Amino acid sequence: MPQFPSGFLWGAATAPHQVEGNNVNSDWWALEQQMPGMQRSGDAVDSYHRFAEDMRLLAEAGLNAYRFGIEWARIEPVPGEFSRAELAHYRRMVDTALDLGLTPVITLHHFTNPRWFSWLADDAVQRFQTYVRQATSILDGVEWVCTMNEPNMLALMIGMARDAQATRRTTEEWMSPTVEGAARPVLPDPDPEIGERLAEAHHAARAILKEHTGAAVGWTVACQALTATPGNEDKLREVRHVREDLYLEAARGDDFIGVQSYSSQAVDENGVVPHPQHPDNTMTGNAYRPDAIGIAVRHAWETTGHTPVLVTENGIATPDDTRRIAYTSEALGHLFAAMDDGVDVRGYLHWTALDNFEWGHWEPTFGLIAVDRTTFERHPKPSLAWLGGVARRGEI
């Protein structure tokens, strides 16, 4: 059986807006109130108050790591005014993880911004730097920090926000499929100029974190595991650069690259080929492709100049937990094969710990733990025990 190395991180991930609840000072909260047809995060799954229970369930199952975010909109609700209480809250989360034997992997920015902030503003990078400096005050003992989650997706969202109708259309398309078998449309390319600004912000944050903490620093990239149809290798390089490689190349010099992959898509002479409707498609309209993680980590390893890889998200949107176990088992097999070929992979963090608010919809269920949204009672799924067993054994 494939044997993973000692010290390998085995865990699960969440994002603050998706699990905490009542993130009223964020731009996503404002968007939820304004956009017709979008479901609202509301109380989410109340992890703001129940984080210790969530972490305990992961640790008791056998996992040794937890990726979670700190919410800028809570910490700096108005420009230049920082909440000591919120900083202390996130420090309690760090301490709880450490006390439970979970390695905290902290994300500083996971899509959401304070309502007052815009990445298009002239002082955006400086504003982000100021927030990061405040965040370093609670990161003592933290070994892993992600500056931003999926800047390629963030660049897409920022660009589309310049057109209110396009924003509505993109958001609805992004999360519209919620029934397995449905097809998912291809999203437009992210704006490279915005991508360059985010890379500048990432590098500025990296410098602050390296100065004030002992953490390994990187960012995470949404990797589509793109492949070329016959004769379209040049088109693949063109498409992949604007969608992924700009961001992977910006990770050169980082301590790690966070790879996030769920499915694979082909590229033909016209660009990315849409997933057709198929009974095997997941609740988000993605093809069932557990091999995608192997494709993604190999490409990230080469494109970043052999930067160590941390799988920061991988999973499947399905109501069938047996299918989740099958997908994850196959994915880990492909991950191990990449490692066996020399790719330096430091850990695997499953998306997600809890069924949660999936950016406008509640229906796509990725979690290892189900949550009753009326009582907030947690119900661990068999997949949590299964993954914990893999972690304890260090083998699939």
Residues β-bridged to residue 217: 145
Tokens describing residue 140: 């003592």
SS3 label, residue 20: coil
Provide the 8-state DSSP code for 147.
E
Specify whether the CB–CB gap between 373 and 355 falls below 8 A: no
Distances (CA, A) of 182 to 22, 179, 282: 31, 6, 8
DSSP 20-66: S---TTBHHHHHHHHSTT----TTTT-HHHHHHHHHHHHHHHT--EE
Q: What is the DSSP-derived secondary structure letter of residue 3?
A: B
For residue 19, give both structure tokens.
């699990």
User: Which residues are CB-contacts of 234 (< 8 A; sequence separation ≥ 6)?
Assistant: none
What is the amino acid identity at position 378? R
d(CA 164, CA 318): 31
Helical axes 192-212 vs 151-160, angle rounded to 10°: 130
**Percent helix, strand, coil in the chain (nearest 5)?**
40, 15, 40
Question: Which residue out of 32, 71, 86, 150 is catalytically annotated?
Answer: 150
Residue 173 known to be catalytic:
no
Give the number of other Cβ atoms within 10 Å of residue 180's Cβ.
Answer: 21
User: Which residue numbers are catalytic?
Assistant: 150
